[in-house]
Chain A
Amino acid sequence: MVKKIEKLEMRGISKSFHGIPANQEIDLTISSGEILGLLGENGAGKTTLMNILYGLYQPEAGEIRINGERVRISSPLESINLGIGMVHQHFMLVDNHTAAENIALGYKQAPFLFPQKKIKDDIVALSKKFNLEIDPLKKIWQLSAGEQQRVEIIKTLFNGADLLILDEPTSVLTPQEAQDLFRVLKDMKAAGHLIILISHKLDEIMDLCDRVTVLQKGRIVGHAQTADVDKSTLARMMVGRDVIFDIQREKMPPSRQVLRVSNVTVNSDKGFPAVKGVSFDIHRNEIFGIAGVSGNGQRELVESITGLRKLVSGKITVNGKDISNQSPRKIYNSGVSHVPEERIKFGIAPGLYLYENAILKQHHLKEYSRNSMLAYGNIKSHARSLVDAFQVLAPSINVQTKDLSGGNIQKLILGREISHEPDLLVASHPTYGLDVGATEYLRKQLLKQRKAGGAVLLVSEDLEEIFELCDRIAVIFQGEFMGILNSDDPQVSDIGLMMAGSLKLPAA
């Protein structure tokens, strides 16, 4: 058995992808009984650094030392053997297996036959110790995100982890679940574990961590004891300037109704109701935001509006026309555009050229296709104007779309979706994972769309984005609206409670 980790150091770690540096000369130290925060924006290199520590990537330079001794970690297996455990942002669990089976998987002391029976009791004992309550016999898909996370944590403890890495652990949790997690982490710290918390949320870092290391564009820009700094100092370190977005949202007079969603119920992939009797409307010159922790029905609601998912009941109209259960193409033709979440999974055909992706939903329109032949002249000039107008950084329109960065793909998709002046733009997490510059640009484009008379439905987990852009805000929890607020309503401060499901406003 390897000695317990007392101290871990990373020295001069550098790593680049395709020539673009992701980590440059990073130094980092953590000792037993300490929680270290790793703070930085999306794309700052936090996850890359931790993946190096976990053995998923090899650094190009630098070394890792455990208890002063230099180690080489060339695979997750070696990392686990050294006592390092990682809980990824997206859980690595087998959905159709029980929690116990998932924990038994990869557990070296598990017996060959019926492993889950033998270790069930061990799980219960361990979960008691750290208040990590789970039912070991439930299948993963039956568990909430918080419970799944507990399964992941127990799994790392079973494998003897002294050092636990958590990558954005609260991004899928309700505030209540997050508080529970924090309590668990504090107990583990008291028991002598080392914990690295990756986050871009200042509150968490301040609440939980003893020390914080701030990354920006792959470099360390500062270390601090959380007791010595305040949130605004950290924010400045993280972004490299004061975080005041200079986006101005003009007042717009009330205008004609575009979207009307009445009493809509939609099922999830598993066949359970994911959206339960939701009603709202959106007008011209209005951005309507849906706030909430992801996985509370946002995706199903968006898919029902854009034709990708069938309604169980209810009705959706656009400009007075019924679009309930129409095909995606008919709904597009009725004036609804869609910037999908997971842009690479849904929004583009990665191996096709940029210009071919510039017309992905519009290729059937008369400008681009005549007598079923594609009009490549028009398509290319449209692509060129999109690239210019939406500042897509690309060597040319003849590159494969997968070679663009995430931000540029998103600009291309947004440009494509608003270039045909839709009456309604549905945008799901449009700035997720983008850098500050691209984020600001995309937000401005949404406001421009609003000013030009469009209606926008914005689904976002990012409350700052919601407050900045939206005229009205609905909070969704477990498929129901907990209330719809005007952005100047003083009650917006209660949004956190509404997101957690502990406050529901009476229907207006």
Chain B
Amino acid sequence: MKIRITDRAKITPRDQVLALVFSIMAGLFVIGLIFLAFGVNPVFAITKIFAGSFGSLYGFKETITKAIPLILIGVGLTIAFRAKFWNIGAESQLLMGAIFGTWVGLNWGPHLPAPVIIPLMFLAGFIGGAIWGLIPAFFKVKFAINEVISTLMMNYICAEFLTFLIVGPWKGKTKFGFPYTDDLPESAILGLISGSRIHYVTLILAVLTVVILGMIVYKTRFGYEVRVIGENPEAARYAGIDFFRTTLIIMAISGGVAGLAGVGEVAGIHHYLSYPASISSGYGFTAIIVAWLAKLNPFFVIVSGIFFAGILVGGDAIQISLGLPAATVEIFNGTLLVFLIMGDYFLKHKISIER
């Protein structure tokens, strides 16, 4: 018996939907096995996850809250991934945005009204994330340093830098010795939709970003150049597209929007800087799956962002109610990503068995 792998000649939209559905089903099946190993009824656990996130108004509001950073980061990643720039550093681009935004909020906030300070904080956050994204981009175009390694390592540098700030120079006087900064002033704090933690300014910003980046990818010259680079870098060079410049812009955007998410988390939820793991619960990594599930289409990121936010919220719910370990959600997400990527492979290739 032989297994033979050939390229699939034609891929219809129907095949794409089927591949997606099967990947998710297969992923859920394997996740179910893991639940079973923990002695938990898998059907019950998976139902519980989605009931926890979409089944109640409270759960749904929490889902939207967590979808905000996922959508922002995810949509930025679609641009980077389209150009085949594998940005694994969105987690620290978010943190750098949070650091820049917090500095502006803490230092200028007391003297400025909300309509002035809040845009300034987002601007600073964008710049912070963009700088952190530009460094590995520069290394890649200038010295051909693999961006997977460099963006990943930048995460650790930024996390340690943030920790240094909160235990050292930025440690708050009002925090009783805890490693936190002081609270942001009133004017620098984002309003919430009442009865929820949804900071609507960031939500609106996220939706706007999706629309703008969607337009950029499909309608502008820049988006065209990004797609050509991603499809065939040799052809891009031949066509006179400036690889250096385009890659830098891509990473400024991708890092910058992750930075916006960081500002949203601090100014909307936490109100002060604390340990990296509490500012972001791995949003920068989960957003990789969000972008992938959206097939790198910026508009689909809204759907996939809400879906994965739901899993985060539902995961919290089963942690509490079923007593599963905290890593459950990460296993859940990781397993789904593996199956989504496999689904992509089976979509593009045909497997036949010969006897």
Name A residues whose Cβ lies closer than 8 Å to a Cβ of B: 18-19, 58, 74, 306-308, 327-330, 332, 338, 340, 345-352, 356, 360-361, 363-364, 369, 372-374, 376, 403
Contacts and interface: CB of A to CB of B under 8 A. Distances in A.
Given A369-B221, A374-B221, A350 B238 contact: no
Interface in B230-254: 231-232, 234-240, 242
Nearest to B229: A349
Given A58-B354, A348-B232, A352-B228, A308 B221 contact: no
A345 B234 contact: yes
Contacts of A329: 240
Interface string B162-179: 000000000000000000
B9 interface: yes
Interface residues of B, number: 23
Given A308-B237, A338-B238, A364-B221, A74 B2 contact: yes
A308 B239 CA distance: 10
Given A58-B4, A74-B354, A374-B224, A349 B240 contact: no
A372 B232 contact: no
Contacts of A403: 10
B237 A328 contact: yes
Nearest to B232: A349
B21 to A, nearest CB: 23
B220 interface: yes
B88 to A, nearest CB: 23
B32 to A, nearest CB: 35
Contacts of A345: 232, 234-235
B221 A349 contact: no
B142 interface: no
Closest 3 CB pairs of A and B: A329-B240, A349-B231, A328-B240
A375 to B, nearest CB: 10
B222 interface: yes
B41 to A, nearest CB: 44
B220 A327 contact: no
A350 B232 contact: yes
B199 interface: no
Contacts of A369: 221
A361 B239 contact: yes
B239 A374 contact: no
A351 B231 contact: yes
A351 B83 CA distance: 13
B221 A373 contact: yes
Contacts of A374: 219-221, 224
Contact of A352 (B221, B231, B237, B240): B231
B314 to A, nearest CB: 35
B227 A349 contact: yes
Contacts of A308: 237-238
Contacts of B220: 372-374
Interface in B210-232: 219-222, 224-225, 227-228, 231-232
A483 B2 CA distance: 56
B235 A360 contact: yes
Contacts of B236: 349
A330 B240 CA distance: 8
Contacts of B240: 307, 327-330, 332, 361, 364
B354 A350 contact: no
A349 B238 contact: no
A494 B333 CA distance: 69
Contact of A350 (B10, B219, B231): B231
Contacts of B235: 345-349, 360
Given A308-B238, A327-B240, A328-B240, A360 B228 contact: yes
Contacts of B237: 308, 328
A274 B227 CA distance: 33
29 contacts: A18-B9, A74-B2, A308-B237, A332-B240, A338-B238, A340-B238, A345-B232, A345-B234, A346-B234, A348-B232, A349-B231, A349-B235, A352-B228, A356-B224, A356-B227, A360-B235, A360-B239, A361-B239, A363-B221, A363-B225, A364-B221, A364-B240, A369-B221, A372-B222, A373-B219, A373-B221, A374-B219, A374-B224, A403-B10
